[in-house]
């Protein structure tokens, strides 16, 4: 493995960048930034992935490019949190998300989820998972964290998040906690805006920092920054990612973290619109970030590399800062970026799938009311719902072929009806007419707080002469907006795995064991 002493300035800068590309094959633009700009790391998204065999081959090819043109293996990073944020293909084992896992009441499930995820990632050559989320979801209106968090208490987040982290690390995959110093108390998605949290360090220490401090004490290897303004802590007008006060003084010095510090993507609008992606990269490195993410646009990487080179030449950035960061990167690569042949048999294996199904069944929550069992072939039952729809860019791409009502209707040999994500008055009346004559309507809700037509339809169904089972396939808090007597279940995600987990609950074979408290 190449040493720092053998590297040019550009080669060192290239090691500090992670970038991406838009297809299932390596793009010409990516090849250029690896060859000419010595970028040494990649992030994978759903659009890069078809199936496990394609993914294993892609990762192998990426590592060949990295070793040939940088002399070092690359970090192959991914956001494989589970649940709402899942990038791995259908033929892999995709575990439940954070809030769902925590609702099971069993921290060992978080460890198992991490270990299964790590084994499958490593089997395909992916060595760095940008998980778990350690944000405390203390704002029910949070549009981007919500079910990605283990809960609304620091104790729950620390307990489950640390177990997930340990499962990943024990499985041989680097783990990054996110989003420091806390993204839970926001009502703005930093993908599309710049959130502000008006808390002092002392206030953060009472809640948001607790999970991070606990995880640091338990061997955290990497922590990701948040693009959030903290004007009570840093009055310079830059977000956490670009703040020396937050990254160096708070995280490194006060909390004593000496692991790898990575940025969230600098192409998110919180940075891109307000500061510029290249300036964001320079600001992040000055703040103390070791590894910066420009996750989509190679041209933006080129601009950032040039800007950093110019800053070093002008004396605006000490090359020693770069050397310190690269030394850390190389040390972690020596430990985690070990190139091996793909082991496809591990990915989606029977043992993992059975363990995952059991865990997922344990995550389904009964929030309110009594469950009305659904029997196969029951012609008195109608399933309703929309296609999944996302309001935040952290989610994986929407699968338009996936339909909750169709999935359930076909499984139970029952009637089903598609509705709009935000039905109009006319569409609601049509749905009500369809529901006439059925004794039981099971409706799947997704982002109903933002799409209030779903909630209005449920209220109208409750006035009809039928039982209603409302299932949240996202935030469970949406059930608090429904008035009246109904059965409310929380499944936390819109996915075939969640649908399958609901079946033994709906047909009465299994009583929900999970628990989560929301104000109804």
pLDDT (average), residues 207-236: 96
pLDDT (average), residues 2-25: 96
Q: How far from 105 is each of 147, 151, 177, 488, 517, CA to CA, in Å?
A: 15, 11, 21, 19, 12
Strand 487-490's sheet: what is its strand order?
365-368, 487-490, 467-472, 440-445, 381-385, 415-418
Identify the three-state secondary structure at position 43.
Answer: strand
Token representation of residue 318: 């000490």
Confidence of residue 113 (pLDDT cuts 50, 70, 90): very high
pLDDT at 518: 65
Per-residue DSSP letters for 74-139? Answer: PEEEE---BTTB--S-TTS-----HHHHHHTT-HHHHHHHHHHHHHHHHHTT--EE---B------
Query: How far is the C-alpha of 185 from the C-alpha of 137, rounded, in Å?
Result: 6
Of 79, 189, 264, 392, the active-site residue reads 264
Whether 306 is catalytic is no
- 364-506: CATH, from 3.90.1310.10, 3.50.50.60, 3.40.50.1700, 3.40.50.1370: 3.40.50.1700
pLDDT averaged over every residue in the chain:
94
pLDDT at 390: 59
Whether 264 is catalytic is yes
pLDDT at 482: 95
Of 69, 191, 227, 296, the active-site residue reads 191
What is the CA 155 to chain-centroid distance, rounded? 20
pLDDT (average), residues 70-92: 97
Percent with pLDDT over 90 in the chain: 86
Q: What is the CA radius of gyration of the chain?
A: 23
pLDDT of 334 > 80? The answer is: yes
H helices of 343-393, in order, are 350-363
pLDDT at 389: 64
Domain 4-336 is of which CATH architecture? Alpha-Beta Barrel (3.20)
Which regions of 288-409 does DSSP assign to beta strands (E)? 291-294, 365-368, 381-385
- Tens-digit pLDDT profile for residues 371-389: 999 999 999 999 999 887 6
Of 48-57, 179-188, 337-346, 478-487, give the lowest mean pLDDT range: 179-188
Query: How far is the C-alpha of 471 from the C-alpha of 368, rounded, in Å?
Result: 11
Query: How far is the C-alpha of 213 from the C-alpha of 202, rounded, in Å?
Result: 14
Confidence of residue 154 (pLDDT cuts 50, 70, 90): very high
pLDDT at 393: 58
Residues 290, 291, 293, 298, CA torsion sign = positive
Q: Do domains 4-336 and 364-506 have the same CATH topology?
A: no
Q: How far from 469 is each of 249, 303, 364, 365, 492, CA to CA, in Å?
A: 50, 53, 14, 13, 15
pLDDT (average), residues 271-295: 95
* 34 phi/psi in degrees, rounded to 5: -75, -45
pLDDT (average), residues 249-269: 96
Location of structure tokens 């760095």: 128
Kindly state the helix (H) or strand (E) to which residue 69 belongs, with its residue range.
helix 52-70
Query: How far is the C-alpha of 415 from the C-alpha of 404, rounded, in Å?
Result: 12
pLDDT (average), residues 446-466: 93
Can you give the residue ranges of every domain in the chain?
A: 4-336, 364-506
């Amino acid at each position: 493995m190449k040493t720092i002493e053998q590297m040019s300035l550009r080669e060192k800068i290239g090691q500090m960048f992670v970038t991406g590309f838009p297809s299932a094959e390596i793009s010409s633009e990516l090849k250029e930034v690896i060859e000419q700009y010595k970028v040494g790391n990649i992030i994978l998204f759903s659009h890069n992935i078809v199936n496990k065999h394609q993914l294993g081959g892609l990762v192998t090819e990426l590592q060949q490019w990295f070793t040939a043109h940088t002399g070092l293996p690359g970090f192959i990073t991914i956001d494989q949190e589970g649940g709402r944020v899942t990038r791995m293909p259908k033929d892999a084992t995709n575990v439940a998300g954070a809030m769902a896992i925590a609702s099971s009441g069993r921290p060992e499930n978080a460890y198992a989820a991490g270990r299964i995820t790590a084994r499958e990632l490593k089997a395909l050559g992916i060595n760095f998972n940008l998980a778990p989320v350690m944000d405390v979801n203390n704002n029910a209106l949070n549009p981007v964290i919500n079910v990605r968090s283990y809960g609304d208490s620091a104790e729950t987040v620390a307990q489950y998040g640390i177990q997930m982290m340990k499962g990943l690390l024990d499985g041989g995959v680097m783990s990054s906690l996110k989003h420091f110093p806390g993204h839970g108390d926001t009502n703005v998605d930093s993908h599309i805006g710049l959130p502000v949290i008006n808390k002092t360090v002392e206030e953060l220490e009472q809640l948001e920092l607790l999970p991070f401090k606990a995880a640091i004490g338990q061997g955290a290897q990497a922590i990701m920054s948040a693009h959030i303004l903290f004007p009570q802590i840093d009055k310079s007008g830059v977000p956490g990612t670009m703040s020396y006060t937050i990254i160096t003084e708070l995280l490194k010095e006060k909390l004593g973290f000496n692991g790898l510090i990575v940025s969230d993507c600098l192409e998110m609008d919180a940075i891109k619109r307000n500061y510029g992606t290249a300036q964001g990269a320079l600001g992040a490195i000055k703040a103390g970030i070791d590894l910066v993410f420009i996750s989509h646009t190679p041209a933006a990487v080129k601009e950032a590399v040039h800007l950093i080179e110019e800053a070093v030449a002008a004396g605006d950035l000490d090359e020693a800062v770069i050397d310190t960061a690269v030394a850390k990167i190389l040390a972690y690569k020596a430990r985690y970026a070990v190139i091996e042949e793909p082991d496809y048999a591990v990915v989606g294996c029977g043992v993992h799938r059975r363990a995952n199904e059991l865990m997922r069944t344990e995550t389904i929550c009964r929030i309110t009311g009594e469950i009305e069992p659904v029997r196969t072939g029951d012609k008195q039952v109608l399933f309703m719902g929309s296609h999944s729809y996302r309001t935040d860019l952290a989610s994986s791409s929407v699968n338009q072929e996936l339909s909750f009502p169709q999935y359930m209707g076909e499984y139970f040999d029952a009637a089903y009806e598609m509705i709009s994500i935000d039905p109009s008055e006319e569409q609601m009346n049509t749905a009500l007419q369809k529901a006439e004559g059925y004794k039981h309507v099971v409706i799947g809700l997704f982002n109903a707080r933002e799409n209030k037509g779903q909630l209005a339809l449920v209220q109208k169904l409750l006035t009809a002469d039928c039982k209603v089972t409302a299932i949240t396939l996202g935030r469970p808090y949406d059930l608090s907006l429904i008035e009246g007597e109904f059965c409310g279940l929380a499944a936390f995600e819109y996915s075939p795995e969640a649908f399958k987990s609901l079946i033994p609950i709906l047909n009465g074979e299994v009583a929900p064991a999970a628990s989560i408290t929301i104000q109804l």
